[in-house]
Amino acid sequence: MNMSNIDPKVVDAFGDEWRTFDQSALPERDRESMFNSYFAIFPWEKLPPDAIGFDLGCGSGRWARQVAPRVGELHCIDASSAALEVARRNLGQFPNCRFHLASVDQMPVPDNGCDFGYALGVLHHLPDTNAALRSCAAKLKPGAPLLVYLYYAFDNRPGWYRLSWKMTEWMRLLISRLPFRVRYAISQVLAALIYWPLARLAAMADYAGLPVDLMPLSFYRKRSFYVMRTDALDRFGTRLEKRFTRAQIQEMMESVGLENLRFHDGPPYWCALGFKK
């Protein structure tokens, strides 16, 4: 199969990740809370009855599990056969899910045929993010919504915050190129020694009524250790990672024919919604 807009090593890495963290141990509280955060601006009320849509980069199927009961048909698309196998297993109870091994530029969904679509945490791991966004928009009916989540460039953070992130970037560049077992082991140490202590510190500050938004890893203060372990592997085990400002995301979305854009003002940054012209 010819899949051009992918990085094969990144695809393999995510296959390893979802086999390891298939989300079967994800606490239901986390599942609901994260889903509500990512889909906070999604216009469920605008979808037609028995809506047909796509989940690009479905991974383990953690979002599809929440979406499938609300729609008529959901196309779960991933370039990793290992990830798709996990998704099939996790979504076996939903007969309205269709599974496709394909990249964004080869989605086996008719152009102008979907009532909605979403790509969360996917497009920033592709060689050509703008082309991928265009491929997604092409599958939508006029007026249909597309929800995306792209890593932010800390454009709403102070300079010291951006600097602290840059100090960890060299670690990702090194760790992500190691064999899976090694990068997995390192990521779990980082989850235990950095993610968990900082998240608990933020939780205590939050409980005391102190501002926590700028505290490192405060996003995880209400998350389980399982989420931290998963995300540590995701963060430090992925070779290709891009980051975008809100303005850059808006420009890309408008350039592919999306309008009436809306951004979620809370974490995770940036979740953006647009409607096909």
Cβ–Cβ < 8 Å for 18, 54? no
Comparing CA positions, the residue from 112, 18, 117 lying closest to residue 77 is 117
Contacts of 22 (CB under 8 A, 6+ apart): 60, 86, 89, 90
Q: CB of 228 within 8 A of CB of 199? A: yes
Six token digits for residue 57: 């980069």
8 Å CB contact between 275 and 258: yes
Q: At what angle do helices 129-138 and 246-255 cross, to 10 degrees?
A: 50
pTM above 0.85, yes or no: yes
Tell whether 169 and 232 lie within a shared domain: yes
Range of the domain at 210: 159-236
Structure confidence at residue 1 (pLDDT): 46
* Two tokens, residue 216: 């490192």
Question: Do residues 186 and 175 make contact, with C-beta atoms less than 8 angstroms apart?
Answer: yes
| φ and ψ of 67, to 5 deg | -85, -40
Q: Are 149 and 249 in a shared domain?
A: yes
CA distances from 71 to 84, 139, 271 (A): 20, 17, 21
Q: Are residues 129 and 94 in the same domain?
A: yes
Do 59 and 79 belong together in one domain? yes
Q: How far is CA 253 from CA 112, 149, 164, 269, in A?
A: 17, 12, 29, 16
Looking at 137-228, which runs of residues are DSSP E strands? 145-149
Please name which of 120, 78, 101 lies closest in space to residue 272, comparing C-alpha atoms.
Answer: 120
User: What are the angstrom distances between the C-alpha of 110 and each of 53, 89, 167?
Assistant: 11, 26, 44
Cβ–Cβ under 8 Å, residues 127 and 117 = no
Domain count, the chain: 2
Does residue 2 lie in a domain region? no
Residues 55 and 173 in one domain: no
Tens of pLDDT, residues 115-134: 999 999 999 999 999 999 99
Residue type, 132: A
If asked whether residues 46 and 145 sit together in one domain, one would say yes
**Does residue 3 lie within any of the structural domains?**
no
Local confidence pLDDT in tens for the 277 residues of the chain: 456 899 999 999 999 999 999 999 999 999 999 999 999 999 999 999 999 999 999 999 999 999 999 999 999 999 999 999 999 999 999 999 999 999 999 999 999 999 999 999 999 999 999 999 999 999 999 999 999 999 999 999 999 999 989 889 999 999 999 999 999 999 999 999 999 999 999 999 999 999 999 999 999 999 999 999 999 999 999 999 999 999 999 999 999 999 999 999 999 999 999 999 9
Q: What is the pLDDT of residue 4?
A: 82
- 3-state SS assignment for residue 208: coil
Are 228 and 248 in a shared domain?
no
CATH code: domain of residue 63:
3.40.50.150
Q: Which two tokens stand for residue 53?
A: 């849509």
What is the percentage of the chain residues whose pLDDT exceeds 70?
99
Q: Indicate whether 247 and 227 sit together in one domain.
A: no
